[in-house]
Chains A and B, each alone.
Chain A
Amino acid sequence: ILNVEQSPQSLHVQEGDSTNFTCSFPSSNFYALHWYRWETAKSPEALFVMTLNGDEKKKGRISATLNTKEGYSYLYIKGSQPEDSATYLCAFGGGGGADGLTFGKGTHLIIQP
């Protein structure tokens, strides 16, 4: 059974502050690490797909890094805004015949004005 862990489970951040959270995953049979943002009553939105050790991706104020050797990824949000409030999910895309993604439980982020 694959274990994808996210921490913290929830996070309250003041508007304008920067924040980050962690996803840890198995370092074997690695093919890709995905990050999604899921706002209430909406569809999960794809943020990044990362496949190579050392990958860094950026989208506006959000960025992510990947370390496949030690099995972790960080998601960073710079200058948090109220619209960043959402659940952030990471998902492990593995090989060995696994067709679906294995998700963590998510980090629930609340931005306080």
Chain B
Amino acid sequence: GAGVSQSPRYKVAKRGQDVALRCDPISGHVSLFWYQQALGQGPEFLTYFQNEAQLDKSGLPSDRFFAERPEGSVSTLKIQRTQQEDSAVYLCASSLGLTSISGQETQYFGPGTRLLVL
């Protein structure tokens, strides 16, 4: 079946520009996660949705970052007034959401969006 897809795969933005990154999770997956991977680092957690509810946004680095999942399927990560330090790969993952302990479920990742802010 279809896996997690993300678009665009690559995005070049000028500093100060707003960007929107899209994630299509696996159909039927309740849980959705966003991660940011800076160069030379491992992916870092940004935010978590259970259906349309954003249950954890503790990893969002500033109020310029905003995520939504209005109908409980597709999610969008928006970055306002991009800065050079926002350059990174943004990964989306989804999981079944059958357990209350989300850390125990396999998360299925998309290929990521590579964002470069000039």
Contacts and interface: CB of A to CB of B under 8 A. Distances in A.
Given A32-B103, A43-B3, A44-B91, A99 B43 contact: no
A97 B41 CA distance: 23
Interface residues of A, number: 29
Interface stretch (B12-20, B61-69, B77-85, B106-114): B106-114
A109 to B, nearest CB: 15
A104 B42 CA distance: 5
Nearest to A90: B42
A89 B43 contact: yes
Contacts of A98: 103
Contacts of B33: 99-101
B111 A89 contact: no
Interface stretch (A12-20, A34-42, A59-67, A70-78): A34-42
Interface of A: 4, 31-32, 34, 36, 41-46, 49, 51, 89, 91-95, 97-106
B55 interface: yes
A93 to B, nearest CB: 3
Contacts of B59: 100
Contact of A43 (B42, B56, B111): B111
Contacts of A99: 33, 45, 48, 55-56, 102-103
Contact of A31 (B43, B46, B56, B104): B104
Contacts of B91: 44
